[in-house]
A and B are shown apart, each in its own frame.
Chain A
Amino acid sequence: DIQMTQSPSSLSASVGDRVTITCRASQSVNSYLNWYQQKSGKVPKFLIYGASNLQGGVPSRFSGSGSGTEFTLTINNLQPEDFATYYCQQSFSTPYTFGQGTRVEIK
């Protein structure tokens, strides 16, 4: 199975900040990398597919990059509604494993 490792596990940021989350795969997943957002007590929301493609309706302050084994999720101009936990997921080979999550908290 492909292991996905996110860093950091948590971070504190202020409204208006730029936030970057890293996701590393134990082997190449090409660009088959998704990002999800989960707010406390809520269902995960699909943000990005193919490493850098925004799902419909996702604000443009979210962006993704990377390929192979290293990926980043960047949130520009962090908004109050962005405080949540973010997960990466590889869809290169089953099982489509998730990272352990990165919690973005209010500073």
Chain B
Amino acid sequence: EVQLVESGGGLVQPGGSLRLSCAASGFRFSSYSLTWVRQAPGKGLEWISYISSSDGAQYAGSVKGRFTVSRDNAKNSLSLQMYNLRAEDTAVYYCAREVGYCATTSCSHYYYGLDVWGHGTTVTVS
């Protein structure tokens, strides 16, 4: 079964740090890009970070310079190191697998979407 399981959430004081982990199973982890998405209480989804299969990372402006995404393909694990946490970082954090579908007949471009999601881990900054 394809599965993602997040851990590491908890209560942290403003300015503190936390490291989230996401354990993957049931698929070839090294072949996929992965994304962190968060959802503040009662709010919508926010894309915050991405790491490609070749370790290229991208961040949303709201977390850039404070969060660092990394992966360990040998351990089928994704991490999100969060520094200088703020009250507005309070949210459920999901890791998700990115799947790509050919957008052209030559597959020169792909449509990307998040097809597998973990159940999330809750971070509370207070």
Contacts and interface: CB of A to CB of B under 8 A. Distances in A.
Q: Do A and B bind each other?
A: yes
Interface of A: 1, 31-32, 34, 36, 38, 43-44, 46, 49-50, 53, 55, 85, 87, 89, 91, 94-101
- The interface size bin for chain B is 20 to 34
A99 B112 contact: no
Main secondary structure of the interface of A (DSSP, over half): loop
6 contacts: A31-B111, A44-B37, A85-B44, A89-B114, A95-B61, A96-B50
B47 A89 contact: yes
A95 B44 contact: no
Interface of B: 35, 37, 44-48, 50, 58-61, 94, 99, 101, 103, 111-115, 117-120
B21 to A, nearest CB: 17
B99 to A, nearest CB: 8
A43 B117 contact: yes
Given A49-B111, A50-B111, A44 B101 contact: no
Contacts of B117: 43-44
A43 B120 contact: yes
B2 to A, nearest CB: 12
A95 B47 contact: yes
A102 B110 CA distance: 26
A34 B103 CA distance: 13
B103 A94 contact: no
A101 B45 contact: yes
B115 A31 contact: no
Nearest to B48: A95
